[in-house]
Structure 1
Amino acid sequence: MNPLQTNRFSRTLLSAAVVAAGALAHTPAWAQAPAQTALPEVTEEILVTADFRQAELFDFATSATVIDARTIEQRSAQHLEQVLNTAPNVNFSTGASRGRFFQIRGIGERSQFVEPINPSVGLIVDGIDMTGIGGAATTLDIQQIEILRGPQGTLYGANAMAGLINMVSGEPTEQFYGEASLGLAEYNTQTASGVWSGPVSETLGYRFAVGSTTSDGYQENAYLGIDDNANIDEQTVRAKLQWQPNENTTWDFTGLYVDVDNGYDGFSLDNTRTTLSDQPGHDRQETLAGSVRLQWEANAAYDLIGLLSHASSDLEYGYDEDWAYEGLCVDFECVYDGYSSFDNYLRDNQNTSLDLRLVSSNAADELGWVTGVYYRDQSEDLRREYTYLESDFLSDFDTESQALYGQLNIPLADRWNLTTGLRYETRDATYSDSDNASFSPSENMWGGKLALEYRDSADNLWYGLASRGFKAGGFNSSQTLPAEDREFSTETLWNYELGWKGEGFDGALQTRIALFYQDRNDVQTKQSRVVPEEGDTCPCSFIDFTTNAAAGSAAGLELEANAQLNAMTEVFASVGLLDSEFDDFQSFAHVDANEDEGEPVDLSGHDLPHAPSYQFAIGAMFNLTEHWYARVEVEGKDAFYFSSRHEAQSDSYELLNARLGYRANSWEVALWGRNLTDELYETRGFGAFGNDPRNGYMAEPYYQFGEPRVVGVDLTLRF
């Protein structure tokens, strides 16, 4: 930390201490609320809401993680990316201001540029489909994050082949509740939020939350002499109304506004956190979204549940492609003259979905059923502003999906249950662009599951599961590609899973274990070709496209455990093991950026990208006294490949996080730190990539780095 940062952080801590002292001395009478529970019991019921019926986590026959509000708060997390490492076999990719592309068990997208994408990991926020626009995954007032691993073909269809992330914010409360929080941290990081909840009348309740996160970011720009070239500026507003006009009917209304205006200057010619760009980029998103949910107990036999949602998002992502300034070769000796370019993508994303289902209201030992219909309409309009284009590139992409689905829960012999599910989905898409490319694919897809459950005499759950997921095919817009590379096929995935969930020592120990094997067909993966242009010496000649590998497979284990050792100490751990590979795949990965053509490389047996062979998180929570508490945790990942196009890898790493806090009746202050050992680790990388004229555009790997050590203080007042 340089002296300027040290002085700034000292002032930050001093200001926070003054605020905390003021709260101590002047807590008003109206704020004398009952003390918050220092540590929830491990046996507290955790409900998973993403399924057709709410189910307790230990009754849910699939591999799932629930990240609760306490974990989000204890890590001082402002975005989904800052808590994902607590879930086994879940990864994310940056290449932007946030890690907004997600992978589950080694499957998922890692970036988006010209082409529209068909995501493998679904993202739902309060019932609103945010799949593919993860910048909106801020954690303001989020009460739990549910991560379902494996295909959710019956539940969500084509956008959840790898799994689903479901974010659920707080519900309106029966009594008035309020909370105000302030956070200060290094890199001029400031967070502020407020939550208000309560009844309007006997039948109407509300909840309103507003929050802001700003930071200079941890990159510096030596050419411009600034340290906020990768700044964070995120504002979030959530609103909920819950209306129950009678005992049989409940209406839930949700509104969401997210405004992201972040900087993006992630890559350096010197592979450091100090860049030389003269046009730092940006990563912006403005989303206005809402949903209406109806639950009507139509009669004693079934309920009608309807969910209508719409999300309107304007996104802008741009970056300095040369990572340098125009006078670089004046200040440095260069082998070739440098180039200068800026690439900017503006997207208008409109997404409307409607889901209507009938759900039986049977007892647990009776036949249960669900049947429903689904409709989704999405449009994505792109404008690409690029230095080397004579005019802006424009494209229009529209998709329309309809689905029928059903599920049966069949009680068998004592302690046995069988669940079957099936979904049939049709998808029609139209695409056109300013290069006169047009496609109109239409597909019929299906997915489902078959699960057998057994409850032993100790009430432990054993299950076996086979599920099938699918991901729609697509196309590549570049006219320079050969005809055989212009389109790619639907991908399918079979997932086989064995699991056990149980408790011991009178509920003081809870354990969840899952073993799985996944078989992928027509794996959709990114590739590159080089299209030489006369006199072209820059890397602009790379053409990225999506193709189908013949097949792929993965096997692994997921283990999660919580233990209440005594009244003072709780320990928790998660481990993910993953062995993944391509089968029979000839890749056109580019080996030398100075050659005219890339040679096919046999990637059969090669690890899938963003699929570390192990991940872990382990930690402990200590109630030191009635008021003092502490939390310490370590998270880590094995090295993993960044792409199927090159051999660049991350390093394996371990991060140390900690928090020390003091709780009184109505307020709390805490000192926290993430990555306390200041580990240097990579979150995105390019391999065999030439972008530095000083070395003649020699091919070498480049990396974007994760968050360095950050220490901060939070103050929360509850009333």
Structure 2
Amino acid sequence: MTPKLRRIALLAVLLPASVFATDPSDTVELDLPPGPLLGCLEQLTARTGVPIVDNTGRVADLECDGRRETTSLGEALDALLKPLGLSWRRRDDGAIEVVAGQTETIELDTLAVEDTPLPALEPVIAAQAPVTRLAQDAMSITRITQDRLDTAPLLSLSQINRYAPNVYASGAGLAIRAIERDLDTFSGLAVRLDDIDLGTSLIEGDMVSVENLAGLDLERGPRSFERGGPGAAGALNLYTAAPSETPTLRAGFGLGNDGAHRASASWSSRFGDGESGIRVALENRRLPNYVDERFVPQANRAHRDVDNAFVKLNLVPESIPGLSAEVSALLVSGDDAPLWTAAGESPFPLPDDGASYARVVRAMRTRAVGAATNVQYGNDAWYLRLTANGTVAQHRGAWLGSTFGPAGIFNTERRNATSLSGHHHTDDWDFALGAEVSGMSFSDHDATWATGYQRVADYRKDLDFRTRSVWAWAEHRFNDQWSLGAGVRHVRELTRRYIVSVECDVGELRDPQPGVCADLAENPPLRQFGQVRTSTPVPLVTAAWSPLADQRFTLSYGRGIRSSLGLFPDWIQPAERDDSAQLGWQASWLGGDLSTRTAVFHTKVSERFHFVNNHIGARGLARGAELEAEYRLSPLWRLNAGAGWIDADFQYYRYGNTDPTPPMPGAPERTVILGARYGADLRWYGTIDAYRVSEAESAQEISPKKRRPAYNLVDFRVGYRKDEWELALIVTNAFDQTYLDRVDFSLNDRFYDTRYRLGDPRRTELRWQYEWR
């Protein structure tokens, strides 16, 4: 055998276990001097471990140009082979085969270009900034992209707090920078899936799937200029993937511990000649319950089922240049989670067995429908955008635990918003203005046994919020380094509360439903009504400086507002206000391998609602800092870290103030995040995430028994991926730590107890999915 043939044979047999070799999309460092093509391919094999086989008989006789760069294996092969009329392909055993290149040419007719230019406007999607990037960058954003989500150990929305500093708890109690998301029912944080408002109950019961998300933005700091009242604390935006370029059917199945499982299917495709397409997804989840009701054992359930259906339609008609639309719809049906594991004077801290000592327990089922539409028309100089969304969630069930039998519950939550905005862009200026109409309503209907058997109390509470606002924004770019933007939104809100309570005799009826006393009332019902009108300006000013291409500083001032009202109509209250200033710094280092985000903020808290005597009466200060870093250690290894510190105290506490500066609830002093990822687009991969949070006050009423202890959590995921299928093992709370997710002084229940919500125990899922294209 000649030396040349021996060297070619060596390429063909090197590293027979090529299943673990580098994928063509992986990054490699090249330092190839000019010389024989055979020698260049030998060095490429040595660096990547991928066998290369010559199927043309020409490799030994050709020369290659030298190359010195960091690129992917596929791009390196293209650069070496295409100039020589060769190509390559990947064999089933993982080896690279050198083949003859395509040499045919196609004669095309002369392309006629008309004088009228086509619009250069990108099609509208929910992930676009509501105003401009400068306005969006005013406060901190942790952006989790699809490449990280695809390998993240993420099983439910309850884990969202583990992905950004100064974020704590979950569900309706999610706290960001010392603002708890919900006090009773009204929101301080906008949570949306492709612009569908998820409201309160859908995230509280973990009703929305997070499988196959394409992006997650966790925005900290006031977002009321962009989002109105629900954006006081920030915004959590979830995004699904765009329709696939080719028809794609995906099926998945997951098997978990304690009888948990999930099954999902999705279909995605484009249609027509442009970017129009559709995506449909279905999922069923069975989740274990870990609450043991000691006083109401009939409320215990081994599992609960949740069903999701989601549709997204993207329209980019070729016949109307500049017009695009995105329409999303979500259907949900499932059992509510009885996650409150203790009530009243139960033992504290909680026992490891998740025992609940509640005297009365709700058993509920939720059905919800939500939709969102974004329509845009314009070109690269101007555009108009119409956005609308609406969500209705209904909850039916019964109170269990009464001596006289169960009694009915029927609650409804409605949210809607419609906005129209116009945007104009020049070389140095951006202008935008808009108007929005929005509303939220909550209807709580209860029928409970009154003083004795056969007598029922029929109770109804309605909350209604109606908001009108207009806003304007102007932004100027002085040069490549400096830009300044300023805007204001004026918000007018009408808040109403209406309560009706009546008792009646129901004879032998054993399961009274809400409204049973409407026609049987013996006495005039108790009626209470209250309302308040507010008018609040919401300013936002942002300055940005980019001294280098990879360095950006932003200084901003903004206001957060939130609807607020007391427990009873005669104590209804106006909106809360928080004014916040922030200095942010985003930077890239080491040739882009290391990226950092730093923020320092100062928030003046005005008119904060608290539960003591149910009045606005708390003012204070919240100061803090956040640091996030991501480091690409090598083509296969990535590290991430985050740390948050916050000092939030009341400075003025009108009622029952025994400490002049009690800490604010929902504000742990420290949060720490650490993570590591290994792997490429294909083959083996692994991810581990760790989360540490210090203790925090809770429930707006300062008390040692309402303090959440510090805890640590670790999640991990290990998997193997090919082009068509994936197999993964996901484990959350790997050390099965018992911890309190939050503490709540409940005002929605018939009995005003302090309730403790236990965090998820260890959850394990073996997940498999397959794609047909």
TM-score bracket, normalised by the shorter chain, equals 0.7 to 0.9
Distance 1:35 1:296, change over 3 A: farther
The residue number in structure 2 matching 1:476 is: 567
Whether 2:381 is the aligned partner of 1:356: answer no
Distance 1:201 1:188, change over 3 A: same
Taking structure 1 as the reference length, the TM-score comes to 0.78
Distance in structure 1 (CA, Å) of the matches to 2:474 and 2:331: 37
Whether 2:389 is the aligned partner of 1:304: answer no
Map 1:378-393 → 2, pairs under 5 A: 378-388=440-450, 390-393=456-459
The residue number in structure 2 matching 1:108 is: 180
2:573 corresponds, among 453, 471, 488, to: 488
Distance in structure 1 (CA, Å) of the matches to 2:299 and 2:364: 17
Distance in structure 2 (CA, Å) of the matches to 1:519 and 1:418: 23
The residue number in structure 2 matching 1:248 is: 322
Secondary structure of 1:264 counterpart:
coil
Distance in structure 2 (CA, Å) of the matches to 1:67 and 1:212: 25
Distance in structure 1 (CA, Å) of the matches to 2:408 and 2:606: 34
1:367 corresponds, among 429, 438, 441, to: 429
Whether 2:244 is the aligned partner of 1:173: answer yes
Q: Deviations over 1:575-624 (max 9, x none)?
A: 1111101111044xxxxxxxxxxxx2434311111211011110111229
CA shift for structure 1 position 302? 1.0
The residue number in structure 1 matching 2:161 is: 84
Whether 2:702 is the aligned partner of 1:636: answer no
CA shift for structure 1 position 343? 8.2
2:766 corresponds, among 710, 713, 717, to: 713
The residue number in structure 1 matching 2:210 is: 139
The residue number in structure 2 matching 1:233 is: 305
Q: Deviations over 1:343-362 (max 9, x none)?
A: 87532223221110001243
Whether 2:588 is the aligned partner of 1:503: answer yes
Q: Which amino acid aligns with 1:360?
A: H
Q: Which amino acid aligns with 1:606?
A: P
1:51 corresponds, among 121, 129, 150, to: 129
Distance 1:140 1:319, change over 3 A: farther
CA shift for structure 1 position 193? 1.3
Given that 1:184 and 1:714 are in contact with CA atoms closer than 8 Å, whether structure 2 keeps it comes out as yes
Distance in structure 2 (CA, Å) of the matches to 1:470 and 1:278: 37
Map 1:94-105 → 2, pairs under 5 A: 99-105=171-177
CA shift for structure 1 position 430? 3.2
Distance 1:523 1:38, change over 3 A: farther
Distance in structure 1 (CA, Å) of the matches to 2:296 and 2:686: 41
1:558 corresponds, among 615, 626, 632, to: 626
CA shift for structure 1 position 274? 2.8
Distance in structure 2 (CA, Å) of the matches to 1:687 and 1:401: 28
Structure 1 unaligned residues grouped into runs of 5+ = 1-33, 94-98, 327-339, 529-545, 588-599, 692-696
Secondary structure of 2:162 counterpart:
helix
Given that 1:263 and 1:281 are in contact with CA atoms closer than 8 Å, whether structure 2 keeps it comes out as no
Distance in structure 2 (CA, Å) of the matches to 1:471 and 1:306: 24
What percentage of residue pairs aligned between the two structures are identical? Answer: 19
Map 1:6-155 → 2, pairs under 5 A: 49=127, 51-53=129-131, 55=133, 60-93=137-170, 99-110=171-182, 112=184, 117-133=185-201, 134-135=203-204, 136-155=207-226
The residue number in structure 2 matching 1:621 is: 677
CA shift for structure 1 position 48? 9.4
Distance 1:278 1:490, change over 3 A: closer
Secondary structure of 1:506 counterpart:
helix
Given that 2:334 and 2:366 are in contact with CA atoms closer than 8 Å, whether structure 1 keeps it comes out as yes
Secondary structure of 1:437 counterpart:
strand
CA shift for structure 1 position 639? 0.7
Whether 2:515 is the aligned partner of 1:441: answer no
CA shift for structure 1 position 341? 9.1
Secondary structure of 1:454 counterpart:
strand
CA shift for structure 1 position 458? 4.1
Secondary structure of 2:230 counterpart:
helix
Q: Deviations over 1:320-347 (max 9, x none)?
A: 5x7xx97xxxxxxxxxxxxx99787532
Distance in structure 1 (CA, Å) of the matches to 2:295 and 2:765: 29
Given that 2:696 and 2:707 are in contact with CA atoms closer than 8 Å, whether structure 1 keeps it comes out as yes
Q: Which structure has more RCO (C-alpha within 8 Å, separation ≥ 6)?
A: 1
Whether 2:341 is the aligned partner of 1:267: answer yes
CA shift for structure 1 position 180? 1.7
Distance in structure 2 (CA, Å) of the matches to 1:462 and 1:621: 28
**Count of aligned positions:** 611
Given that 1:217 and 1:227 are in contact with CA atoms closer than 8 Å, whether structure 2 keeps it comes out as no
Secondary structure of 2:371 counterpart:
strand
The residue number in structure 2 matching 1:453 is: 544
Distance 1:514 1:258, change over 3 A: same
Distance 1:702 1:474, change over 3 A: closer
CA shift for structure 1 position 300? 5.4
Map 1:185-584 → 2, pairs under 5 A: 185-203=256-274, 204-221=276-293, 229=301, 231-245=303-317, 246-264=320-338, 266-268=340-342, 269-270=346-347, 271-272=350-351, 273-275=354-356, 280-297=361-378, 301-316=381-396, 345-363=409-427, 366-388=428-450, 390-434=456-500, 435-477=526-568, 486-527=571-612, 546-584=614-652
Secondary structure of 2:496 counterpart:
strand
Distance 1:401 1:56, change over 3 A: closer
Distance in structure 2 (CA, Å) of the matches to 1:118 and 1:224: 30
Q: Which amino acid aligns with 1:131?
A: G
Given that 1:265 and 1:282 are in contact with CA atoms closer than 8 Å, whether structure 2 keeps it comes out as no
Distance in structure 2 (CA, Å) of the matches to 1:700 and 1:207: 44
CA shift for structure 1 position 52? 2.4
Q: Which amino acid aligns with 1:608?
A: M
Q: Which amino acid aligns with 1:52?
A: P
Q: Deviations over 1:487-510 (max 9, x none)?
A: 223211110100100101111101
CA shift for structure 1 position 702? 6.2
Distance 1:343 1:406, change over 3 A: farther
Distance 1:309 1:38, change over 3 A: farther
Secondary structure of 1:267 counterpart:
strand
**Bigger mean CA deviation after superposition, 429-438 or 495-504:** 429-438
Distance 1:429 1:436, change over 3 A: same
The residue number in structure 1 matching 2:4 is: none
Secondary structure of 1:100 counterpart:
helix
Given that 2:134 and 2:542 are in contact with CA atoms closer than 8 Å, whether structure 1 keeps it comes out as no
Q: Which amino acid aligns with 1:260?
A: G
The residue number in structure 1 matching 2:120 is: none
Given that 1:351 and 1:377 are in contact with CA atoms closer than 8 Å, whether structure 2 keeps it comes out as yes
Distance in structure 2 (CA, Å) of the matches to 1:205 and 1:633: 35
Q: Which amino acid aligns with 1:355?
A: S
Taking structure 2 as the reference length, the TM-score comes to 0.73
Distance in structure 2 (CA, Å) of the matches to 1:68 and 1:319: 42
Distance 1:65 1:50, change over 3 A: farther
The residue number in structure 2 matching 1:703 is: 756
Distance 1:603 1:193, change over 3 A: farther
Distance 1:48 1:296, change over 3 A: closer
Q: Which amino acid aligns with 2:633?
A: L
Given that 1:178 and 1:718 are in contact with CA atoms closer than 8 Å, whether structure 2 keeps it comes out as yes
Secondary structure of 1:167 counterpart:
strand
CA shift for structure 1 position 189? 0.9
Q: Which amino acid aligns with 2:329?
A: G
Structure 2 unaligned residues grouped into runs of 5+ = 1-21, 29-70, 72-124, 501-525
CA shift for structure 1 position 257? 0.7
* Cα-Cα RMSD: 3.4
Secondary structure of 2:395 counterpart:
strand
Given that 1:50 and 1:166 are in contact with CA atoms closer than 8 Å, whether structure 2 keeps it comes out as no
CA shift for structure 1 position 51? 2.6
